[in-house]
A and B are shown apart, each in its own frame.
Chain A
Amino acid sequence: MAKATNTEIIDLLGEKFGEQLFDVTEPYGLLTFSTTKDKIINVLSFLKENGKINFNFLTDLTAVHYPNTNQIAVVYHLHSMVSGIRVRIKVFLHENDAKIPTASSLWNSANWMERETYDFFGVKFDGHPDLRRILNMDELNVHPMLKQYPLEDPNRVDKKDEYFGR
């Protein structure tokens, strides 16, 4: 199968979703675009099931916190092994309403990746079969990768920055 190009993919998606896709860029050749949380599952399953492009593989799922705009971006990396091309999809959520439908119905690998994202960012994946913390202890009451939490415990008295020249 010939390699699909980014232009072909974005044309195909544009036909189907139109204005639902925005912020299309190509940093370092990797097609990147954003969509909304209402459309994300449609976009993902279209990419997965369309025979022409066939993004059959969920490489990575994670989140990024942007405290300046009070947003959390959920980032999906999909990979089409047949045509050897990757695509990055972002969904920006408001941090007070960080809810998004689960992708675990499309890929089983999303199960743990979404648990990880929930654990570290507090993003709630609607419809997830088992949304529990995965790497941190269950008693932890924060989502530690959010930017407001410092790297070290601020209450510690033995590790002041001034002692370390920071």
Chain B
Amino acid sequence: MKHNQPVYTDNDPQSELVTLNLGPTHPATHGVFQNVLQMDGERIVSGVSTIGYIHRAFEKIAEHRPFYQITTLTDRLNYCSSPINNMGWHMTVEKLLNIQIPKRVDYLRVIIMELSRIADHIICNTIIAQDTGATTTFLYLFQFREHIYEIFEEICGARLTTNIGRIGGLERDFNDIAFAKINKFLIDYPIALKEFESLLNRNRIFIDRTAGVAQVSQEDALSYGWTGPLLRATGVDYDVRVSEPYSSYQDFDFEVPVGTSGDIYDRYLVRNEEMWQSLSIIKQALEKIKLEPEGVFHADVPAFYLPAKEEVYNNMEALIYHFKIVMGEIDAPKAEVYHAVEGGNGELGFYLINDGGRTPYRLHFRRPSFINYSMFAKMSEGMLLSDAIINMSSMNIIAGELDA
């Protein structure tokens, strides 16, 4: 055998396989993922994914908590875009209770959700670049996630596990600093995103590492239950924001970017374009808010929305409502409801069954990371280990959501 020929041809006489434990804590996997791989040299022959290392029994805990306390559990699912999870949960309960949300609140929520979508996509796309060896882009764009977190801090006081909003609206209005920071972000971020794209989009090394790698057909993607940018990269234009608009997404004018081949490069491009669309949605929302009555930040539903503290001390009804809400004694219909939102990495669904008690009878999270990840071991077969690592990054699997 000549020295420059690969050793892993199909009829290799030295076909001795090596078992490789990738994870559970491996610096290249960005989370707690274990994959036991059968390796032939650098090439993966087969693999088994082991998950559940940070399982925290959220569905069981949710059965023992009143509705308003479950928001904090949703924070810890996809913790890269917790506000989307929070809003998804609030909207599920609001759907159950048939609460009409004022338009201004819807638009404020849209701003929050689109900001967190950008934060989520920043993480994923910069990590792809990082794993292909482009550290600059990672460090450069990551500071804008920090700016988004500063906006969240201004809106709700928290950064990562945000607990933004309440059932029936938001817990407080955006202040002037928040609006100023959003406006500044809208000016600064497009410049950085443009630079980010010019560093990578036509970059020979980046394209060589990503284009044509981990291609997935539409049939496979649908069969494996893929949603979000992963599915859209294969060319299926499914976006929950368009197919079942929630939070007044029907009022906005935006495009759903789709790819053609479903490879890593397409997923990267789809996410980048979604960030541009998100910026446009935020701009539209800021314009729309100006036309709505000022200062409205929650629906007028005293039975479900916690009253202001000074009201509680001075007003009998507010005190009663406060007590009932805190004790979880809200009159929710005995019913079951499924509500889905477009999360950072796919369709995040909440299946809620209420039997009239203080806590949900059953709550199931349809977690996109969990469902998307089931294909990973299968699609890694025959792939180079280094490609599988980029593939995992490009799938945007968040361990908290994977394991719930």
Contact = CB atoms under 8 A, between A and B. Distances in A.
Contacts, number: 87
A107 B364 CA distance: 20
B177 interface: no
Given A77-B351, A81-B238, A109 B371 contact: yes
* A-side interface mostly: mixed
B225 A28 contact: no
Given A62-B351, A62-B364, A28 B224 contact: no
Interface residues of B, number: 40
Contact of B224 (A64, A109, A116, A133): A109
Contacts of A135: 51-52, 55, 403-404
B184 interface: no
A12 interface: no
Interface stretch (B114-122, B124-132, B302-310, B330-338): B330-338
Interface stretch (A13-21, A33-41, A52-60, A91-99): A52-60
Contacts of B335: 27-28
B375 interface: yes
29 contacts: A27-B336, A27-B337, A28-B338, A30-B337, A56-B222, A57-B222, A57-B225, A60-B338, A60-B349, A60-B364, A62-B364, A64-B353, A64-B361, A64-B362, A65-B362, A77-B349, A77-B351, A81-B222, A107-B225, A108-B224, A108-B374, A112-B371, A112-B373, A133-B52, A135-B52, A135-B55, A137-B52, A145-B60, A151-B64
Contact of B55 (A30, A59, A136): A136
Nearest to A60: B366
A160 to B, nearest CB: 16
B236 interface: yes
A112 B336 contact: no
Interface string B42-72: 0000000001100101011101100000000
Given A59-B349, A60-B366, A134-B52, A86 B225 contact: no
A145 to B, nearest CB: 6
B243 interface: yes
B244 interface: yes
B134 to A, nearest CB: 32
Contacts of A86: 338
Interface in B182-240: 220, 222-225, 236, 238
